[in-house]
Amino acid sequence: METTVDSFYLLMVWGKVVFRNQEALQGIEFMTDAGQRLKHLRESVRPKLSIRKMAEELGIPASTYATRENETKSPFMRLEWVLPMADVLERHGVPREQVMELAGADAEGLRGQEVEVAAWVQAGNWTENNEIDHDERERVVWPFRQKMPDGIVALEVRGDSMDMMYPSGSVVFAQDPVILSESGKSVELGDIVVARRKNDMGDFEYTLKELAQAPEGGFLLLPRSRNLVHRPIPYEPLQEWYIGHHPSDASADSLCIVGVVVGALISYMDGAL
């Protein structure tokens, strides 16, 4: 499955890793926040382009520019900030499309669809009440060039049971398995899934794991972690034949799959991988 993705992001799509620009990733660290990526682009200019000179060409105070470069920790910057930066850096030989990616946009300034990160999912222990307060929610840009499919939710990953794939702080895009099946796809072994169960208090709890075949038959929800304290979780769907064919019964009280990860913005802030 071929997909075009942003140069500075590693994205997982149906278990495949695709880079749009492999060369852009050689010799640099994976960078999550837009400020780091902006700094990398500015410092790639020859002859050297200082913060003071960059700000001067933008027509803004050096302190304002420095704040945007040093303190923007989210994956994307405001489009109105990035447009003049693209003009300046393009004059210095930086490809315009690389600069526009700071805003999650193409070279013409068209952005992908934005998604609100309204909840988090624990990659570790089961957790409930995972909604993020409204005033603390961030918006991220659907990073693929194709239209965002229906039934997508953006979830912040917390915990370390999946840190070999999605370190804490990453954002995963999960699709409702029922809607997934309507597009002709299905839940498959090897998918990263959001699983849900009902605890003894009658509350729903969630976790992020990989769906795998158990050696003795049946299925497992596997951690992918450097922390060996995390153990596989046995998983027996009410309708076992749905794997590879139909979605799980997400209305059931028992353990079930309620989301399949179809893409992600990967955080490397903790030095994972």
In this prediction, residues 22-47 reach a mean pLDDT of 68
Residues of the chain with CATH 1.10.260.40: 19-103
Give the global pTM.
0.62
pLDDT higher than 60, residue 30: no
User: Can you name the CATH fold of 114-265?
Assistant: Umud Fragment, subunit A (2.10.109)
Query: Rounded to the nearest 5°, which phi and psi values hold at 204?
Result: -80, 140
Q: Please spell the DSSP secondary structure of 136-147, one letter per residue.
A: G--EEE--SSSP
Whether residue 244 is predicted with pLDDT greater than 70 in this model: the reply is: no
Residue type at position 158: R
- Domain(s) labelled CATH 2.10.109.10 in the chain stretch across 114-265
- pLDDT band for 93, please (50, 70, 90 cuts): very high
- Per-residue pLDDT, 268: 57
Single-letter amino acid, residue 124: G
Query: What is the rounded distance in angstroms from the CA atom of residue 228 to the CA atom of residue 252?
Result: 30
Instruction: Give the integer Cα–Cα distance in Å for 228 and 175.
Output: 28
Give the CATH H-level superfamily of domain 19-103. lambda repressor-like DNA-binding domains (1.10.260.40)
Report the Cα 233 to chain-centroid distance in Å: 24
